[in-house]
Amino acid sequence: MAGKFIHCMYCQGMFICKELWRHVRRCPCKPEDLDEEPGRTKVLGLAAAQGSASCQQISSGVWKLLGVMKQDEVALIVRNDLLIIQFAQSLYNKHGQDPTKYDYIRQKLREVGRLLLCLRTEFSIHNMEEAVKPANFQRVVQAVKKVSGFDEEKHSFLTPSLALKLGHSLHKISDIIHCRALMAEDEDRIRSTDIFKKLYTSKWSELVSHGALNTLSDAKYNKPSTLPFTEDVQILHRYLDKSAEEAFCNSKEVATSQNYAQLAKVTLAQIIVFNRRRAGEVSMRLKSFLERDTQSFMKMLPWGCQRLNRGSATTSAVSKSWEKGAERMQFCSHRAWWMLYHYLQVTELNLVFVQQTSSFLQDPKQ
């Protein structure tokens, strides 16, 4: 797919190789003092030379990410800007091994694409490389404020988090240009990116970040703190207990993957409520589930049954998960896990049956 397209050497837009020469004739970023119009072969040669000298190889994974984006004007801008694609490659190098981060990468790209769309319509800045030039710093600040919904009278942002995220993305994009210039030994670009970074360091907080953080702080301060009524909490727990009983009985009568998945979902909901955590913190991947240490659980099971018979509400550690390099112990009520364990014992559930529900175990958000 990538071999059929090439970037314009002036505006960095992406075009079909056979049609690039037509675009170059009317490219808005083409220098006005160009002596002669390059022919078809020369245009492809110039574009290919610039691409090979200054661009890193874009992996197929990045093109797949771009291919499944929502097809609109922002997606078109993202695909046609070389620097945004290199920014996508940088994000993919960091998070490409984790498919759950793909939506995060696409979100970052769309944020920058919205900024570039504003720069094109409001300030006639056609690509991100032109945007991070020192002369355009103030225009970029104005565009960020416009995209983030800045109110001049109240000095507040409608979407303050977007302003902060765009600042981080702009800094990363300037780093990409700076590294590219260092490898190409382009002194002009090195000096330009150094100046932009100095402007960002000295003025961005004053012009954007401080106001955005104040808006977030005010919103958090003025947000009313709501506590659930006792009756609502009781209703939730009664509903979960009833759903768990029904799921357990259905699974015990008819051993199907649907009944097991329903029981697993209810059990996960009970664990989340018990731990007051997000779903990702009390779940594990199928690989981790299959490689789990079952010895410690089996040793603790008789003790747990004795405590359960006495009606105690104590808890037992039943699983381990790894998050950010730290070992976390997950806890749940004896009742939920004993029901699930008893069902597995009764039906003699094997590995094939567990694999049938791997989609739920791998992605509990579904």
pLDDT of 127-173, one tens digit each?
999 999 999 999 999 999 999 999 998 889 999 999 999 999 999 99
Strand pairing of 14-16 and 5-7? Answer: antiparallel
Q: Which residues contact 326 (CB under 8 A, 6 or more apart)?
A: none
pLDDT band at 2 (very low <50, low <70, confident <90, very high): very low
Angle, vertex CA 120, rays to CA 115 and CA 121, nearest 5: 100
pLDDT of residue 36: 59
Percent pLDDT > 70 in the chain is 69
Count each helix (H run) and each strand (E run) in the chain, helices first: 18, 6
pLDDT of 73-84, one tens digit each?
998 899 888 899
Q: In this model, does residue 333 exceed pLDDT 60?
A: no
Residue with token string 């749940």: 332
* DSSP 8-state symbol, 209: I
Angle, vertex CA 304, rays to CA 302 and CA 309, nearest 5: 95
pLDDT of 210-228, one tens digit each?
999 999 888 877 767 677 7
Q: In this model, does residue 346 exceed pLDDT 60?
A: no
pLDDT of residue 331: 43
Please provide the DSSP assignment of 270-282 as one string.
HHHHHHT--GGGS
Mutual angle of helices 102-123 and 60-67, in 10-degree steps: 70
pLDDT of residue 347: 46
pLDDT of residue 79: 85
pLDDT of residue 112: 96
> Mean pLDDT of all residues in the chain?
77
pLDDT band at 299 (very low <50, low <70, confident <90, very high): low
The structure tokens listed for 26 are 């009317």
> What is the C-alpha separation between 171 and 193, in angstroms, rounded?
10
Whether the Cβ atoms of residue 116 and residue 84 lie closer than 8 Å to each other = yes
Weakest mean pLDDT among 29-38, 239-248, 321-330: 321-330
pLDDT of residue 308: 45
Identify the CA nearest to 95 among candidates 103, 210, 111, 180: 103
Answering whether pTM is above 0.85, one says no
What is the three-class DSSP state of 98?
Answer: coil
**Amino acid type, 236:** L
